[in-house]
């Protein structure tokens, strides 16, 4: 088997003998294309890409019809309690059961249709454009003595080692003969992090990590795993395991593991009974496997402009800015020109790659909480 990317962005394993045929059918989107249009993934990426497939196979084995019926019954019992659908509201039990089942179905549809997003600090836009791809902390070289580094590694090993041999075989740290600490983890074998933006609120799935964000093409969902909330926090509350990470085809199982607050919010979003989102509640975390390319995997950029204005007039710039720009005076022409140039770079990049682009100016408080529909995203014209 060889891991290949189809012309539409899907990644799947294809038997080598099929690569000799003039046409190949993608295992993910089921579209047929010329074999020459498929691209082979490198070895380390190939190992990582298999993780969602292993998760899918595991939960397919574990979720028998009777097991799925038990899961559905447990979730609907929680929905009945959380939404206050007690017997006094309905004269017949069948009416109540149908109401609960409809809410459950609406929640699943809402999750399946949700955008996959990654929020980022607007001031780091130039770093993102320079790299051409989203990188995880292992690519960037984490602080090996930082507590979060150890927590993140432990959570990833606990959740994904059963699905991913590369993670299973790696040790976070080792000491050479002189006692110097080094890292054996390869960034390509570890996931990047996203959020399933249920309800598609205008600020993205996790604006606490940055007010701007990207929206991924749906094919990225097929090479991602999902957990009910942040994996590090899950592992701190109780040990996480491979049971907690599911593929896109088993999203319903996450509802069992969600907090009451989050499940209640999802029910309200799915039924249209709320116009705001509580950022204090959990988010559905997605773990992407393999390289995330800005040109091939990103559908849209949403840039939060008040961030740039605040940084432009800030007394001390920002640590993410290049050194010379960081030292410039507030509201200086050099700082203004820097941001103008980065936005022009982004416009040109999006126009060239047919990526949609939106500049948002909404006030921060409303931006963070509203479920107001986002304006239709458009690809910028080539200048």
Secondary structure tally for the chain: helices H, strands E: 15, 16
- The pLDDT assigned to 322 comes to 78
Q: What are 116's strand-pairing partners?
A: 196
Among 52-56, 95-99, 145-149, the least confident range: 52-56
Examine the pLDDT at 130 and tell me if it is beyond 50: yes
Examine the pLDDT at 326 and tell me if it is beyond 80: no
Report yes or no: 361 and 368 within 8 Å, Cβ to Cβ.
no
- The pLDDT assigned to 40 comes to 73
The chain-wide mean pLDDT, for the chain, equals 83
Long-range contacts of 358-367 (CB under 8 A, 24+ apart): 358/300, 358/301, 358/302, 358/303, 359/303, 359/305, 360/202, 360/302, 360/303, 360/304, 360/305, 361/305, 361/306, 362/202, 363/306, 364/211, 364/306, 367/202, 367/203, 367/207, 367/211, 367/304
Residue, of 345 and 169, whose pLDDT is higher: 345
- The pLDDT assigned to 310 comes to 87
- The pLDDT assigned to 90 comes to 53
Among 2-11, 85-94, 277-286, 309-318, the least confident range: 85-94
Whether the predicted model's global pTM rises above the 0.75 cut:
yes
- The pLDDT assigned to 383 comes to 45
pLDDT tens per residue, range 133-156: 888 888 888 887 788 888 998 899
For residues 36-46, average pLDDT: 66
Of 335, 343, 367, residue with least CA distance to 128? 343
pLDDT tens per residue, range 178-230: 555 556 677 888 899 999 999 888 899 999 899 999 999 988 998 899 999 99
The residue written with tokens 């996203």 in the block is: 194
- The pLDDT assigned to 16 comes to 80
The 10 Å CB-count burial string (b at 16+, else e) for 40-67 is ebeeebbbbbbbbbbbbebbeeebeeee
pLDDT tens per residue, range 239-266: 999 899 998 888 889 999 999 989 999 9
Among 61-65, 79-83, 332-336, the least confident range: 61-65
Structure tokens at 127: 């770093």
Of 255, 198, 230, residue with least CA distance to 82? 255
pLDDT tens per residue, range 17-28: 888 888 888 776
Q: 91: buried, middle or exposed (CB in 10 Å: 19+, 13-18, 0-12)?
A: exposed
């Amino acid at each position: 088997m060889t891991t290949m990317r189809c012309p539409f962005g899907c990644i799947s394993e294809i038997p080598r003998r099929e690569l000799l045929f003039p046409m190949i059918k993608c295992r993910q989107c089921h579209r047929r294309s010329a074999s020459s249009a498929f691209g082979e993934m490198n070895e380390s990426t190939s190992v990582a890409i298999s993780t969602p497939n292993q998760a899918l196979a595991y939960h397919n084995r574990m979720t028998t019809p009777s097991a799925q019926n038990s899961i559905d019954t447990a979730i609907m019992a929680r929905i009945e309690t959380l939404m206050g659908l007690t017997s006094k509201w309905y004269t017949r039990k069948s009416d109540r059961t149908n109401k609960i089942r409809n809410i459950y179905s609406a929640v699943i549809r809402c999750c399946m249709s949700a955008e996959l997003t990654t929020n980022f600090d607007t001031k780091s836009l130039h770093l993102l454009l320079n790299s051409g791809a989203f990188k995880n902390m292992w690519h960037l070289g984490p602080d090996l003595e930082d507590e979060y580094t150890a927590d993140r590694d432990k959570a990833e090993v606990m959740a994904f080692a059963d699905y991913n041999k590369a993670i299973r075989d790696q040790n976070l740290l080792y000491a050479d003969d002189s006692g110097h600490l080094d890292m054996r983890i390869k960034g390509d074998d570890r996931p990047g992090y996203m959020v399933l933006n249920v309800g598609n609120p205008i600020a993205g799935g996790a604006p606490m990590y940055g007010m701007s964000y990207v929206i991924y093409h749906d094919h990225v969902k097929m090479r991602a795993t999902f957990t009910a909330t942040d994996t590090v926090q899950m592992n701190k509350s109780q040990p996480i395991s491979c049971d907690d990470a599911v593929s896109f085809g088993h999203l319903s199982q996450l509802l069992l593991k969600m907090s009451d607050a989050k499940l209640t919010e999802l029910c309200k979003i799915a039924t249209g009974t709320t116009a705001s989102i509580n950022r204090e509640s959990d988010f559905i975390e997605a773990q992407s496997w393999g390289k995330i390319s800005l040109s091939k995997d990103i559908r849209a950029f949403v840039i939060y402009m008040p961030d740039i204005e605040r940084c432009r007039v800030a007394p001390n710039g920002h640590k993410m800015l290049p050194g010379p720009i960081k030292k410039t005076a507030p509201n200086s022409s050099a700082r203004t020109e820097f941001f103008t140039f980065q936005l022009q770079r982004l416009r040109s990049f999006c126009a060239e790659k047919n990526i949609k682009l939106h500049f948002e100016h909404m006030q921060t408080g409303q931006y963070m909480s509203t479920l107001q529909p986002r304006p239709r995203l458009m690809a910028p014209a080539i200048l």
